[in-house]
A and B are shown apart, each in its own frame.
Chain A
């Protein structure tokens, strides 16, 4: 059974800090997703990647297929980045298996 593990579960940081959230999975995948869930509950897709690295603004996502590991980085963090960040994987179809999320709080 595939497991998706995220760390840390909770992260509190000061505004401006560099943030790293980690995701590990146990079996081979075709793609990995990073999602953001706002305090109001809405879920937004940030990245989908199957290899290498993607960047969007202050967000960077990397994946190492051999190590079955992905990281989400946030540079120059801001209070508006406070949210739950969710890692999910797919195996060549549209079904996703989700991690339990990392709750990020950025303090001004």
Chain B
């Protein structure tokens, strides 16, 4: 199993550009989430999904959209990038079965918005 795969690893955007951060998992996990990590702050939840077709907002959802059309994929869209969205983004997944709540993280995407 590849686990949780995030692409790209690095991205530089100009203010106002849009882009999609990709996240895919091959563990058949129901729960997927997006976090951002900023210096001096803990990871903060952006959006999450408890299954295909179901998404909800986390702590810092503004400026981001998500969708979950399949169990495997959970892309994060930046609609109009702002410098405040410069951060490291992590996708994570977990199962509702054995080992529930244990989260598996992707390698992260480092985003800079100029």
Contacts and interface: CB of A to CB of B under 8 A. Distances in A.
Contacts of B40: 100
**Interface of chain A, main secondary structure:** strand
A94 B99 CA distance: 11
B83 to A, nearest CB: 21
Nearest to B42: A98
B42 A99 contact: yes
Interface of A: 4, 31, 33, 41-45, 48, 86, 88, 90, 94-101
17 contacts: A41-B107, A43-B90, A43-B92, A43-B105, A43-B108, A44-B105, A45-B104, A86-B42, A88-B43, A90-B101, A94-B31, A95-B33, A95-B45, A96-B45, A98-B42, A98-B44, A100-B41
